[in-house]
Amino acid sequence: MTADYHRSFDSLSPHFLLTAANTNHPSHDHISLWPWSMRRKALEDAAAELETAEIVHLEPRHRTRASAADSGPPSAPAVPATVADIMTREVVSVLPDASIHEIANTLLEKRIHAVPVTDSKGHLLGVVSEADLIRRVELGTDEDGSWWRKVFRDASTAAVDYVRSHGRRARHVMTTRPVTTTAETPLHEFARVLGKRHLRWLPVVAGARVVGVVSRSDLVRALARLSAPGMAGPRSDEAIRKDLEARIREIPSGPKFIGVTVHEGDVKLWGLVSSGAERTALHVAAENTPGVRAVNDQMFTRPSSPL
């Protein structure tokens, strides 16, 4: 049974108790009415966990001393938003008549996993990747060993397999109609496609013309360029608290009963969590908040409901 209470938590905290269950009405807190046996177990668990409360000390974030010539704090690298921000614009491509040995050497020399196949005007015709070169008659890897495939494939499929394993030109082995992206594609959509299709890279096209390539490595490189969260100057405890509370509310299906207090940059988190993963998410939120020096974990785990 669940009921709504118009109740103040001022006696529990000098600030307020975060209630992510109803962010539009922060003054209305949804309280689960537990049986007395569960409430007693929760109090016992709380006492046991508070005895071993964890204090996590973070590395201090020192403000960089500015020189006299500096007009302000150093600007952080811009966060990339679209494929255009991270893609490689110098494209290594091959023509349809390029030999597979030439393609293999190009992949090795350039340390890449695939190349676009284009015509003389740069229009995309297909791609040749490492996966297109692993089943070759020269290596004795042309047969996949699947008896069911040999039994049920038709003459057309058998002919296609023969061309891909015996052909000596890019046009014989390339994947036609490849997945592509554009420079305007948001990075989250690009990452989703890579994960869903199990791809390492995509050609970037403008119309039919190849204008770049973008890969997993480009995402990792962009992450490496970004600096750790920082701040332009000292922050007040009140600013830190409000920032952290906002981050906690952004945790998907996040904690509903968590209190936050801050004293000289030291954060205390207290209240109920449902799991160890939820506790870790709260620690991550605190560590990502500029100005936090240490996290004092005073939380305890909600007892599971009886079947």
**Residue 285: per-residue pLDDT:** 93
Tell me which of 208, 225, 242 is where a domain ends: 225
Task: Answer yes or no: are the C-beta atoms of 38 and 305 closer than 8 Å.
Answer: yes
Same domain for 96 and 185, yes or no, is yes
Query: How high is the pLDDT of residue 61?
Result: 47
Of 182, 204, 225, which closes a domain? 225
What pLDDT sits at residue 94? 95
Q: Which helix (H) or strand (E) holds 212?
A: strand 209-215
| Structure confidence at residue 76 as a pLDDT band (50, 70, 90) | low
Q: Is residue 213 located within the same domain as residue 241?
A: no
Report helix, strand or coil for 301: strand
Strand partners, 57: 294
For the stretch 88-112, pLDDT in tens is 999 999 999 999 999 999 999 999 9
Q: Give the residue from 202, 225, 248 where a domain finishes.
A: 225
Structural domain of 9: 2-58+229-301
The pair of structure tokens assigned to 230 is 């920082």
In this structure, are residues 125 and 117 in contact, taking their beta carbons and an 8 Å threshold?
yes
Q: Has residue 83 got a pLDDT over 90?
A: yes
Long-range CB pairs of 147-154 (<8 Å, 24+ gap) are none
Kindly report the pTM of this predicted structure. 0.61
